[in-house]
Structure formats: C-alpha cells, structure tokens
Amino acid sequence: MLELKRGDFPRDFLFGASTSSYQIEGHSFGGAGPTHWDTFAATPGNVVGGQNGAIACDHYNRMDEDLDLLKDGGFDVYRFSTSWARVMPEGRGRVNAEGLDFYDRLVDGLLERGIKPAATLYHWELPAALADLGGWSNRDIASWFAEFTQVVMERIGDRVWSAAPINEFFCVAWMGHFLGHHAPGLRDVRATARAMHHVLLAHGRSIEVMRGLGMENLGAVCNLEYTVPVDGSDAAARAARTYDGFYNRFYLGGLFNRAYPADLMEDLDPHMPEGYRDDMDLIGQKLDWCGINYYTRKIVAPAGGPWPHLETVDGPLGKTQLGWEIYPDGLYHLLKRVHDGYTRDIPLYVTENGMANDDRVSNGAVDDKARIDYLNAHLARVKRACDEKIPVKGYFTWSLLDNYEWNEGYDPRFGIVHVDFKSLKRTPKASYHALAKVLRT
C-alpha cells in the first residue's frame, strides 16, 4: 500500500508515468529508419542476448490499450518520447507521414482521456544515417536536431502540455562515447567531450525552435546521481568531485550558469570543440522547468590510470535487480541542491524514478512489494522537499511498462505494468494498483 495521498502534496502537484519510444514502440513497425541502437544491438557482445527494440512492447499497435492503463491508473500526465528515425528515417529531409501521424494520434488519445502530454524529442535512438556522419561528435547535429524539432512540433506542438529536447544528456554523451555501454559504443575521451557539448548545443537550438513556434512550458531533463567519497581522505574527495563534475555539474552548469565547472575543464578542455564558449548563451537560455531523473547514489574512490582517476565502489544498502543501491535520501538532497544552486525560481519535476525488479506473474497477479516500498521511500523524500518549499511540481514513475532496458535487454523489469514479451499481454502489478488507489481519489 502507498503511504502518501494526493492531499499530502501541493494542490497543483502532478503524478505521471514515463516511457520512451525505442524501449516500447516496436521499431520495426510503421516505416521507421534504422538507428544506431539497431547497429549497436546487432554487434555481438553489446546487448544481453543480442536483443533489440524491433518489437519491444508493440506499443505502436497497442497504443490505445496502453493509454487506457494510464487513464485507469488515474495519472495526470504521460511523459513519452518521439523517435527521430520514425519521423525522419534518414534523420534529415524526408518525413515519414505514418510516423508523424502516430505521434499525432498519441497526443490526441491522451487529451481525449484527460491526460497531459509531456513530450521528449530525443530518447537515444539516433538515425543510423546521422551516426554515419559522426552523430553527437559532429557539431552539425545541432542543426539536424533543430530540423527534427521543427517537423515534430509543427505537428504536435500546439497540443503538448510540456516539451523537453533531450533525455539524460549524461547518458547520451558518457555512456555512449566514454564507457561504450550504449550506442554508438565508443570509448574515446575526445568524442565524449564533443558529445557533451553538442548535446547541450542541440538542446539550445531545439528550445529556440520551439520558442519560435510559440510553445510554452519547455524544460530540460537531467539524470543526476548523488555522489559521496568512499572515505574522509583528500584523494577521495577529489575523486567524488570529479565524478560529480562530469555526471551532474557539467550539464547543470551549462544549462543554468552558462558555464562549465572550472575544476572539470582543467582536464576536459583540451578535448573540447574549438570556440565552445561562444555557445553558452544559446545553451543557457531561459527554461520553464527542470526535470530530474533519479535512481541511485554513487560511492567514489580514487584510482590510477588516465583521467578521471576514479572508480565506483559497491554500497552497503539494498540493491535493485540491476544492482543499483537504493538510497532515497539522495533524491531529496539533489532536489534541494538543484533548486538552491541552479534553478532557483523555476519548478522542478522528478521526471523519472523507479526500480528494476525480477517480477513474475503468479495466478494472474504480480506482487512487486519491493517497488511499493521504493515508491513509498522516494515519494516521502519528494514530500519533504515540497514541505520545505522547494517547488517540486510533479513525480513521474519509470516506467509504465516493462520494456527494453538498452544494453541489459528485456530482463530488468522497471514497469508498474508487467509485459509478457512473448504474448505481449499486459498485467498491472501491485504497484500499479497501489498508485491507482491513491491517484483516483
């Protein structure tokens, strides 16, 4: 059972669920072009079981059923993403009318059900034709993304409640170009530094395009990790600061201070694209809200080898199916830190929060008590922030459906609705029913 009620949060507080296009739609349907995730998944060793998003949850063909789940669950808002390659199969130029129609129907379907559509333009599936041109390490991506923004928002921008250009800058740049865990699978510090800057530049251009279309309620979505040093040594403090720098402060600094953190740039500057400082006004233009995706904390220790000279260490607390330490206080600390240090007067939303759990259907039900505990603990920290007058205006659970968890494939189950990936049957879990009970009253 959920311990909190709607009445425990401010009157205008919204509850939502989040998903993303490639993780649920089924990318093989509807004339979508190939993406770098298809390429990445087709390369042995990159994704558990070599799985890809070709079918995923078949949301492309089951959209109405999924939107009914949102409505029956009592959700106020639904955060979805638009697939670049579905709308523009080559990334530029030709528009796939069927793809654009799909998002048009999605937005109307939400509005008909009384649910606010919260759009994210990019959630990681870069058209393969653009990856061929260097993808995020090519500065031209900002113009390609501006064109995509224009095409999508000319069609649905009049009806979406909110819009954000890019989901999780850190993952786009670092997971894909430094760690090689995500597409395009590079491990190259120069490509990483360029991607870190270009992903923000593309954000800026996209915001500019949407403002030009007269859109309001535009924001940015950052995934943040609460970072702590492994011990009291100076070396550990330095390592934690570096991790916090490339994970959190780089993006927050660019978006809200129009500057990257000086301590981080001592190491990163040689790899940055020429003239990057001239872009900071575009990157840091005014936003209407900031979204925080929060899952876990990281304990950081110093290590040898090339920059960033650190490693992360296992924490002592309980873990999710993916081994992520459960640390609800981190959400409160980050909301406070972002408000006090960066966003000041604009609203914050928890745009993603949730856990992977090894959920199974038994007698037609899924008893995911661990997820209910997780929700209770994290919602209590959000309430604490609201009580302290931090302007948190909404909470989105990740995710509505079990889905394609990128390089981890389909095993980790993040949904409040179970999906049988053979029959594609949806089974609402106990956490869905617990949320619905609270949200429908």
Rounded-to-integer distance, Cα 407 and Cα 367, Å: 26
Identify the three-state secondary structure at position 231: coil
Q: Which of 168, 266, 325, 388 is catalytic?
A: 168
In this structure, the chain runs to a length of: 441
Q: In this complex, which beta carbon is closest to ligand IFM, that of residue 78 or of residue 398?
A: 398
* Stretch (H or E) spanning 84: helix 84-87
Q: Are strands 289-302 and 219-229 parallel, antiparallel or unpaired?
A: parallel
Q: Which of 405, 410, 417, 436 binds ligand IFM (CB under 6 A)?
A: 405
- The CA dihedral of 369, 439, 394, 226, to the nearest 10 degrees, is -10
Rounded least distance, CB 324 to ligand IFM, Å: 8
User: Is position 112 annotated as part of the catalytic site?
Assistant: no
Rounded least distance, CB 151 to ligand IFM, Å: 23
Q: In this complex, which beta carbon is closest to ligand IFM, that of residue 138 or of residue 248?
A: 248
Q: Which of 25, 125, 168, 279 binds ligand IFM (CB under 6 A)?
A: 168
Q: In this complex, which beta carbon is closest to ligand IFM, that of residue 122 or of residue 332?
A: 122
List binders of ligand IFM among 28-67 (CB under 6 A).
Answer: none
- Backbone dihedral region of 387: left (phi > 0), alpha (psi from -120 to 50 degrees) or beta? alpha
Q: Which of 20, 120, 248, 296 binds ligand IFM (CB under 6 A)?
A: 20
Q: In this complex, which beta carbon is closest to ligand IFM, that of residue 20 or of residue 227?
A: 20
CB-based contacts of 293, cutoff 8 Å, min separation 6 = 167, 168, 221, 222, 223, 224, 350, 351, 352, 353, 398
Rounded least distance, CB 357 to ligand IFM, Å: 12
Rounded least distance, CB 161 to ligand IFM, Å: 20
Q: For the chain, how long is the longest CA-to-CA vector?
A: 61
Rounded-to-integer distance, Cα 33 and Cα 314, Å: 40
Q: Which of 125, 225, 352, 405 is catalytic?
A: 352
Q: What is the DSSP string of 206-226?
A: HHHHHHHTT---BEEEEEEEE
Rounded least distance, CB 405 to ligand IFM, Å: 5
Q: What is the pattern of x (binds ligand IFM, CB under 6 A) and - over residues 206-225?
A: -----------------x--
User: Is position 168 annotated as part of the catalytic site?
Assistant: yes
Q: In this complex, which beta carbon is closest to ligand IFM, that of residue 180 or of residue 284?
A: 180
Nearest to 135 by CA among 2, 31, 39: 39
What is the DSSP secondary structure assignment for residue 135, as one 8-state letter? G
Interface with ligand IFM (CB under 6 A), residue total 9
1 within 8 A of 372, measured Cβ to Cβ = yes
Q: Does 120 sit near ligand IFM (CB under 6 A)?
A: no
> And the tokens for 422?
């053979």
Rounded least distance, CB 406 to ligand IFM, Å: 6
Rounded-to-integer distance, Cα 58 and Cα 37, Å: 17
Amino acid at position 284, single letter: G
Residue with tokens 């740049």: 173
Q: Does 293 sit near ligand IFM (CB under 6 A)?
A: yes
Q: In this complex, which beta carbon is closest to ligand IFM, that of residue 243 or of residue 276?
A: 243
Q: Which of 136, 256, 276, 398 binds ligand IFM (CB under 6 A)?
A: 398
Rounded least distance, CB 336 to ligand IFM, Å: 22
Q: Does 244 sit near ligand IFM (CB under 6 A)?
A: no
Q: In this complex, which beta carbon is closest to ligand IFM, that of residue 280 or of residue 338?
A: 338
154 within 8 A of 116, measured Cβ to Cβ = no
Q: Which of 352, 359, 368, 402 binds ligand IFM (CB under 6 A)?
A: 352
List helix spans (H) across 116-172: 128-131, 141-156, 169-170
* Residues with a known catalytic role: 168, 352
Residues lying near ligand IFM in the complex (CB under 6 A): 20, 23, 168, 223, 293, 352, 398, 405, 414
